[in-house]
Amino acid sequence: MADIIQLLPDHVANQIAAGEVVQRPASVVKELLENAIDAKATSITLIIKDAGKTLVQVTDNGMGMSVTDARLSFERHATSKIKSAEDLFNLHTKGFRGEALASIAAIAHVELKTKTEDSEIGTHLTIEGSKVISQDPAVVSKGTTISVKNLFYNIPARRNFLKSNPVETRHIIDEFHRVALAHPNVAFQMLHNGGDVFNLPASNSRQRIVNIFGSKTNEKLVPVHEETEILKVEGFVLKPEFGKKSRGEQFFFVNDRFIKSPYLHHAVASAFEGLVKNDIHPGYFLFLEVDTHSIDINIHPTKTEIKFDDEHSIYAMLRATVKHSLGQFNIAPVLDFERDKGFDMPYDYSKKQPTAPSIDVDRDFNPFKERAKQGNINFPFKRDPSSGSGLTQSWESLYVGLKDDFDSAQPPRGRSSSGAEMEMEFESEEVTGSLFENNEAETGQITFQLQNKYIVSPLKSGMMIIHQNLAHQRILYEELLKNITVKEAVSQQLLFPLQLHFSKPDVEIIEKIREQLEHTGFVFSALKDETIEISGIPVMILESHVVNLLSQLVHDIKEEVPDSGFSQNDKLAKSMAASMAIKTGVSLNREEREHLINQLFACKEPSVSPTNKLVFTTIDASDLDKKFM
Ligand code: ADP
Ligand code: MG
């Protein structure tokens, strides 16, 4: 038999290779924009016609190419960016495969105009289906313009495969966003069929996001910042309330390169847990910087996937960082995590085999379901201690040896059927409890109240003294903040609407915070002139308490002019918590005391009150010992 194996001609090989790199006009856009960035351009213009099907043109003011380089740039595996395979592990450029221009030239009509800084005259090169048609000197300014016309002109099957113009344009805009977001210091312009689509001046990250996604975006951004030895994270997350039903703005950049990572997405999404409903996707723009040696971006031809050496640690840090940012901006209560010291000691950390990045999410998690189940309205934060956060667990270790005390603690029973009534009893001045409960001896529980103000509880190492009012403020604050943010509070309908009278300006103030109040469970049926009509109130308050609560709120708001939406939510939650919490002077029975303690330590930040006061203190037995020496 005659020899039948033959080498494919270059243009055929290029056409085949092109299939990997160029799937649609947007792929061309990505490659050309990235080349312009690699050429250190400070201003880049993208022009497309017919969704890129007729023309994709990118002009940059970067370093340009010499006459020879211009010609070489269209050869396969022609790149100025790596010289050896090792360079792959120290990449600071977008490109490195030397495939893009060769691939594009194999399946389109390409025109290149380029000039370097130091040459007098530039080059004009035309290529069609890998064949050089012409190369002439040309008068052009420094930089490069590449025009790609009639994409897939020689592969009709591919051309027919392209989607409608709106769909292809959407893809192009996505690529444009990704590159523009990663490089806010570069000016970008995009025109479609002659019309301006984007005009983005060189700026900073926040400004770039706002310029792309609209001025309203500004107030939605929560800055994120963390720097450790193995990872630097900068950027923004969108406040939980701006999460979308569809996957909206979700951007990860690693070393200025847009990447897709379901794993890292999960880290961010889990930081939002409890703040957004299950079907809402949080938005984020996160810029990660890692040592180029610790990643491998070579695993995907279009380079949107990436492999980290230490994925687990990155996950844990990212999650913690986002949580922390949400906390700092009072979107979520802080201190749900302890910043692992291992973050600063990468090797130590990686040896530790991270426990934090567990990927199980309770998809059915619904903060209100739990409450309903327990019929425990006044203390909705009760959690199963075994499923609690690391913090809860670490608190529990304080109680080793006293396990029964807390495991057997139940919501108050038998005193009243609804939380509201219970609240009334809390608020009453009636002194019902005695200093020591009789049945304590039975279970060995020894919590007691001091001056109807403090709850004292023994610890293995000594004792803990809790300020009842501040503790309850913390519990209510976290609950309220969550309700306001997640917007899903439960309200109790009033049999007869409540008519309240305020001054006109006060009614206007209430009108301003109406939305947030409604998130806590208030239902306003009318709000006008000097009258407020309320037909529903939060389950955790008493009807008779509403006037005081609203007056206090109005007072607090007048005292301090609320600024941005979030700090306003925070102030509202603080103010409501302060006026709703059990007061000093109220006697609590054993169950109430224990329940308060349990609720407190199920909080994200039990140690300080919403107004930053100490909630409890501990006295060590060894300190006592000293007194008796
Ligand atoms: P890669 O980017 O992977 O190196 P490309 O095929 O995209 O491969 O480009 C090949 C080479 O052409 C690049 O390495 C670079 O030297 C040169 N080049 C491409 N586009 C530009 C540009 N806009 N300005 C300057 N040089 C460019
Ligand atoms: Mg390239």
CA of 118 to the centre of ligand 2 (A): 23
Kindly report each contact of residues 381-387 with a partner whose C-beta sits within 8 Å and lies 24 or more positions away, as own/partner. Answer: 381/475, 381/478, 381/479, 381/599, 381/602, 381/603, 382/411, 382/595, 382/598, 382/599, 382/602, 383/602, 385/602
450 beta partners: 454
CA of 193 to the centre of ligand 2 (A): 25
Residue 24: how many other CB atoms lie within 10 Å: 21
At residue 338 the predicted structure's pLDDT band, cuts being 50, 70 and 90, is: very low
Q: How far is CA 34 from CA 28, 53, 117, in A?
A: 10, 19, 20
Confidence at residue 188, expressed as pLDDT on a 0 to 100 scale: 97
Vertex 312 angle, CA 310 and 317, to 5°: 100
**Which residue among 43, 101, 148, 186 has the greatest number of ligand 1 atoms within 8 angstroms of its CB, and so is best to mutate?**
101
199 beta partners: 189
**With pLDDT > 70 as the criterion, what percentage of the chain qualifies?**
78
> Which of residues 184 and 404 earns the better pLDDT score?
184
> What residues are neighbours of ligand 2 (ion), with CB under 5 Å?
35, 95, 100
Among protein residues, the one with the nearest Cα to ligand 1's atom 14 is 79
Q: How far is CA 98 from CA 57, 75, 245, in A?
A: 19, 8, 40
Q: How far is CA 213 from CA 265, 311, 362, 473, 477, in A?
A: 20, 30, 32, 39, 33
CA of 23 to the centre of ligand 1 (A): 19
Q: How far is CA 247 from CA 110, 176, 243, 277, in A?
A: 35, 18, 9, 14
Q: How many whole angstroms separate alpha carbon 26 and alpha carbon 49? A: 12
Tell how strand 187-192 and strand 43-49 pair up.
Answer: parallel
Residues 289/290/293/298 CA torsion (nearest 10 deg): -60
At residue 481 the predicted structure's pLDDT band, cuts being 50, 70 and 90, is: confident
- Summarize the confidence of residues 492-500 as an average pLDDT: 84
Confidence at residue 61, expressed as pLDDT on a 0 to 100 scale: 97
Nearest bound ligand to CA 97? 1
Q: Look up the pTM and report it.
A: 0.57
Among protein residues, the one with the nearest Cα to ligand 1's atom 8 is 98
Among protein residues, the one with the nearest Cα to ligand 1's atom 19 is 35
- Summarize the confidence of residues 426-435 as an average pLDDT: 33
The closest-lying atom of ligand 1 relative to the alpha carbon of residue 78 is 10
* Alpha helix positions (H), 114-226: 156-161, 165-182, 205-213
Between 3.30.1370.100, 3.40.190.150, 3.40.50.300, 3.30.70.20, what CATH number should domain 448-618 receive?
A: 3.30.1370.100
Among the residue ranges 151-155, 176-180, 308-312, 393-397, the one predicted with the least confidence is 393-397
Per residue in 411-422, pLDDT (tens digit) is 333 333 333 333
Confidence at residue 383, expressed as pLDDT on a 0 to 100 scale: 33
Which helix (H) or strand (E) element contains residue 620?
A: strand 616-620
| pLDDT of 379 over the 50 cut | no
Confidence at residue 516, expressed as pLDDT on a 0 to 100 scale: 84
Confidence at residue 331, expressed as pLDDT on a 0 to 100 scale: 53
Nearest bound ligand to CA 100? 1
The tokens describing 123, both together, are: 């080059």
Query: Letter for the amino acid at 582?
Result: I
Q: How many whole angstroms separate alpha carbon 462 and alpha carbon 166? A: 69
Question: Do 240 and 272 form a contact (C-beta atoms < 8 A)?
Answer: yes
At residue 492 the predicted structure's pLDDT band, cuts being 50, 70 and 90, is: confident
Q: How far is CA 266 from CA 246, 250, 316, 360, 391, in A?
A: 16, 12, 11, 10, 21
> Which of residues 324 and 199 earns the better pLDDT score?
199
The closest-lying atom of ligand 1 relative to the alpha carbon of residue 73 is 12
Query: Which residues 6+ apart lie within 8 Å of 435 measured at CB?
Result: 448, 449
The tokens describing 475, both together, are: 């519990």
* Alpha helix positions (H), 464-581: 468-486, 504-512, 514-520, 546-559, 565-580
At residue 301 the predicted structure's pLDDT band, cuts being 50, 70 and 90, is: low
Give residue limits of the domains in the chain: 10-200, 213-328, 448-618
DSSP E strands in 290-443: the ranges are: 295-296, 307-308
Among protein residues, the one with the nearest Cα to ligand 1's atom 12 is 73
Confidence at residue 307, expressed as pLDDT on a 0 to 100 scale: 80
The closest-lying atom of ligand 1 relative to the alpha carbon of residue 58 is 23
Nearest bound ligand to CA 91? 1
Helix (H, G, I), strand (E, B) or coil at 375: coil
**With pLDDT > 90 as the criterion, what percentage of the chain qualifies?**
32
Confidence at residue 412, expressed as pLDDT on a 0 to 100 scale: 38
Per residue in 33-74, pLDDT (tens digit) is 999 999 999 999 999 999 999 999 999 999 999 999 999 999
Confidence at residue 300, expressed as pLDDT on a 0 to 100 scale: 62
Residue 55: how many other CB atoms lie within 10 Å: 18
Confidence at residue 146, expressed as pLDDT on a 0 to 100 scale: 98
Tell how strand 531-538 and strand 523-528 pair up.
Answer: antiparallel
Among the residue ranges 12-21, 162-171, 386-395, 595-604, the one predicted with the least confidence is 386-395
What is the average pLDDT value for the chain, to the nearest integer? Answer: 78
Q: How many whole angstroms separate alpha carbon 608 and alpha carbon 432? A: 28
Per residue in 443-479, pLDDT (tens digit) is 345 788 999 999 998 877 788 899 999 999 999 888 8
CA of 33 to the centre of ligand 2 (A): 8
Nearest bound ligand to CA 79? 1
| pLDDT of 498 over the 80 cut | yes
Per residue in 164-176, pLDDT (tens digit) is 999 999 999 999 9
Query: Can you spell out the DSSP letters for 133-147?
Result: EEEEEE---SEEEEE
Most confident residue range from 19-28, 485-494, 620-629: 19-28
Question: Do 379 and 411 form a contact (C-beta atoms < 8 A)?
Answer: yes
CA of 202 to the centre of ligand 1 (A): 23
**Which residue among 79, 142, 144 has the greatest number of ligand 1 atoms within 8 angstroms of its CB, and so is best to mutate?**
79
Confidence at residue 400, expressed as pLDDT on a 0 to 100 scale: 41
Pocket of ligand 1 (CB under 6 A): 31, 35-36, 38-39, 60, 62-65, 73, 78-81, 95-102, 144
| pLDDT of 358 over the 60 cut | no
At residue 623 the predicted structure's pLDDT band, cuts being 50, 70 and 90, is: confident
- Summarize the confidence of residues 294-315 as an average pLDDT: 76
558 HSE (CA, 13 A, CB side): 12
Nearest bound ligand to CA 179? 2
The closest-lying atom of ligand 1 relative to the alpha carbon of residue 60 is 23
CA of 352 to the centre of ligand 1 (A): 43
Q: How many whole angstroms separate alpha carbon 114 and alpha carbon 70? A: 7
Question: Do 148 and 32 form a contact (C-beta atoms < 8 A)?
Answer: yes
CA of 73 to the centre of ligand 1 (A): 6
Confidence at residue 445, expressed as pLDDT on a 0 to 100 scale: 59
What superfamily would CATH give domain 10-200? Histidine kinase-like ATPase, C-terminal domain (3.30.565.10)
Confidence at residue 82, expressed as pLDDT on a 0 to 100 scale: 82
Among protein residues, the one with the nearest Cα to ligand 1's atom 16 is 80
| pLDDT of 228 over the 80 cut | yes
Helix (H, G, I), strand (E, B) or coil at 430: coil
- Summarize the confidence of residues 594-622 as an average pLDDT: 85
**CATH class, range 213-328:** alpha beta
Which helix (H) or strand (E) element contains residue 258?
A: strand 257-259
CA of 592 to the centre of ligand 1 (A): 71
Q: How many whole angstroms separate alpha carbon 188 and alpha carbon 334? A: 38
Closest CA to 100 of 13, 18, 16, 8: 18
**Which residue among 31, 35, 81 has the greatest number of ligand 1 atoms within 8 angstroms of its CB, and so is best to mutate?**
35
Residue 329: how many other CB atoms lie within 10 Å: 19
Q: Is the Cα dihedral 68, 73, 78, 81 positive or negative? A: positive
Query: Which residues 6+ apart lie within 8 Å of 322 measured at CB?
Result: 224, 237, 267, 268, 271, 272, 284, 286
**Which residue among 43, 61, 73, 97 has the greatest number of ligand 1 atoms within 8 angstroms of its CB, and so is best to mutate?**
73
Confidence at residue 385, expressed as pLDDT on a 0 to 100 scale: 37
